[in-house]
Structure formats: structure tokens, C-alpha cells
Structure 1
Amino acid sequence: MIYRIDVRVIAPVRDTEVTDRVADAVRTLFPNAELREEPGRLVADSHSMDAFSERLHEQEILDTARKEFFRRADDEGFTFALKKQAAFRGVINFAVGNPDELGDIEVQVTVHDPDVEGVVDHVAPPTEDGTPVRPDE
């Protein structure tokens, strides 16, 4: 199966933060992303969530990820937010509720092929008793 997606990562950079450190946090979770600096934020574009998916598997938070992806999904894609402090440590922690004082990292995924559910299943497959289950295998 071929997956075609556009991933945009937007990370606010506060005056008290070092831009390179915020860039490192983004690159840790999205190592293939091309970063650019804009006033008050970093914007990164990628076409892969493979490293992010690996981290979800390592942290064993696939069910949480699926819930977050589908919570803000539509026919075009899905969005989610991540805690910046956790990303500095290379840890995925979904941001829910009030934004952190440093600002949350926003991730926007536009799906071209196959469809939103197929991409979510690829990035964070459903689980059974905590073990990933791939319906297409």
C-alpha cells in the first residue's frame, strides 16, 4: 500500500526559548521534516510519519494516538497537538485541554492516498490486548 500524506508541524517559539532547541524537539519526532523559521514559530513539512509511528509503538500508546487522530479528523485528514516539553525529551504526549505556557506543537496531516482511516491504521494500528493488529495482513 502506498501512503501519500502531507504533514505540517507548527511549533511556537517563545522569546524565552532557544529556536534550535525547539527545532531539535520537532526533528526528534519528525526527522525527515524540512524546517523553516517564521516570526514566532517554526514550521516543518514532511511526507512521512514513520518515525512518529515507531515512537508510538515504543511508548505503547497506539490506542491513545488513534483516539486523538480520530477526534479531530475529517475527510481531508486529521490534526493533533503535542506537548512541547515532552517533545524536547523525544516523548510523545498528546496535548488535551489548555495549551501549555510554551505553546503546544500543532500537527496537521493531509491525506491524499488511500484515506484517513487507512493512514491512521498504518501509523497507529488497532490493538487487541495491547498488541497491534493489522487488518490488511
Structure 2
Amino acid sequence: MNCEMEARATVNPTEDPEKVIQALSNVFDYDDLVIGEDQVIVTGEISCLHMLKESLEARKIRETARRIVINGIEDNCIYFKLSKQAAFAGKVNLLTDELSALGEIDVVVKCENPEKFTDWICGY
């Protein structure tokens, strides 16, 4: 399956950029890292999502994740959000709304077959 991912997190004025990078590193085994003035972006192939996939399985939240991922499908892209604070603590928390106090990690996965990706990431 050919997929590309991008995860983007805002660095708030009160945050240490290294902690934002750590939050992303706790969830994604990314290929590239871009540090901007007020955001951090990580990108990579499908292999970068293995930690996320394993966390969904270990926390037994694959059904919830499946609903969120399916709701985020638009054409050949999948959009979803993760809690930056939970990611910093090494946990995966998918969000349905912008509820996280420190902001979110915005994730975009581009792939030829979003349904097949959804089955892979959610364990079907």
C-alpha cells in the first residue's frame, strides 16, 4: 500500500519546541522533520505509522479510531487529529473536536485506497 503522511503541530508561545518534537516522536517514526517558527511538521511513508497502529491496538481503541478515520476520508486523503498533550505522555488520543488544552496534532494521510488504509491502521 502506497501512502504518505504528514503530521503538523503548532508550537504555542508557552511551549518548548523540543517537547512538541518529543510528542510527535512518541507517535510517529517519521522520515523528515521540519521545524518552523510556530509549528513542527513530520512526514513519511506508511511505515511511519506503525507506532500509531500498535498504540491503537494496545489501548483497544481500534473501533473508535475506525469511526474517526472513516469520518475523515475526503477523496484520497484521510484527516484526523491527535491530542498533543497525550502524545507527549506517550499515549494516542484521537479527537473528534478541537478539545485539547495545548492544541492538536493534525494528521493527513494521502493514499490510493483510504478504505484499505483504514482496515490496516484499525486492524481489520
Distance 2:93 2:21 in 1: 17
Q: Which has the larger radius of gyration?
A: 1
* Deviation, structure 1 residue 15: 1.2
* Deviation, structure 1 residue 75: 2.4
- 8 Å CA contact 1:27–1:33 kept in 2: the answer is no
- 8 Å CA contact 2:98–2:104 kept in 1: the answer is no
1:90 maps to 2:93: no
Which of 88, 113, 124 is residue 122 of structure 2 equivalent to?
A: 124
- 8 Å CA contact 2:57–2:123 kept in 1: the answer is no
Q: Which runs of 4+ in 1 moved over 3 A?
A: none
* Deviation, structure 1 residue 103: 1.4
Distance 1:6 1:41 in 2: 19
Larger helix percent: 2
Q: Name the counterpart of 2:66.
A: 66
What's the TM-score, normalizing by structure 2? 0.91
Return 5+ residue gaps in structure 1 as ranges. 127-137
Distance 2:110 2:71 in 1: 15
Q: Name the counterpart of 2:100.
A: 100
Q: Percent identity?
A: 25
When the two chains are superposed, the root-mean-square deviation of aligned CA atoms in Å is: 1.3
Match for 2:45: what amino acid? H
Q: Deviation per CA, 1:109-136: give whole Å up to 9, x if none.
A: 0003xx111111011124xxxxxxxxxx
Distance 2:27 2:13 in 1: 23
Match for 2:37: what amino acid? P
Q: Name the counterpart of 2:51.
A: 51
* Deviation, structure 1 residue 77: 1.9
What's the TM-score, normalizing by structure 1? 0.83
SS in 2 for 1:22: helix
